[in-house]
Amino acid sequence: MKLFLLFLVLSGSTFAESIRYHTDEIKGVFFSSSLIIEQAQAQMGCILMNKDGNIIDTRVSPFTKVVKSSEAIFNVSVKAGKYFEMLPGYKVQTCFYKFIILGKTKLGKAFIRDVVVFGSDETTISEDEIEIFRNKVLITETIKSLLKPLVVE
């Protein structure tokens, strides 16, 4: 702790916004009538910016498993995830929970989809949305509700 306080003093900034968000294990469904989903990877992360406009984009990837249950239904299971970032002089701009989905079309062509389930990995979100990320129960329930089912086309 003393080392961290020394770091704050030496950095010349007393401002250090932190963002911590955790999710419980999440189970959901992907639905796709035109794609065969072979793999998926959940990502949770945030983008922070300092007063000079420097941007830090950090992400974690909890273990993700996809199992085909029928022709167009794919069950997805994501282990509990933990994300934490605290940078002196930086402010949280946006947070996101997304899936990177790999597979092939019914015609055999490979595809990759980047599907943001909640938040944004490109634009600034509101302070109210950032507060949802900080609440473990609320963020977990929000993501679960959006995966009943998540249509991927």
For residue 54, what is the DSSP state?
-
For residue 133, what is the DSSP state?
H
Task: Provide the mean pLDDT of the chain.
Answer: 90
Q: Is residue 1 part of a domain?
A: no
pTM of the predicted model, to two decimals?
0.86
Q: Is residue 6 part of a domain?
A: no
Q: Is residue 56 part of a domain?
A: yes
**Pair of tokens at residue 4:** 């961290």
Q: Is residue 8 part of a domain?
A: no
Q: How confident is the model at residue 47 (pLDDT cuts 50, 70, 90)?
A: very high
Domain that residue 41 falls in: 14-151
Q: Cβ distance 94 to 125 under 8 Å?
A: yes
Q: Is 83 buried (19+), middle (13-18) or exposed (0-12) by CB count in 10 A?
A: buried
Q: Is residue 26 part of a domain?
A: yes
Q: How confident is the model at residue 3 (pLDDT cuts 50, 70, 90)?
A: very low
Q: Is residue 7 part of a domain?
A: no
Chain segment 73-106, per-residue pLDDT in tens:
999 999 999 999 998 999 999 999 999 999 999 9
Q: Is residue 38 part of a domain?
A: yes
Q: Is residue 44 part of a domain?
A: yes
**Count of structural domains within the chain:** 1
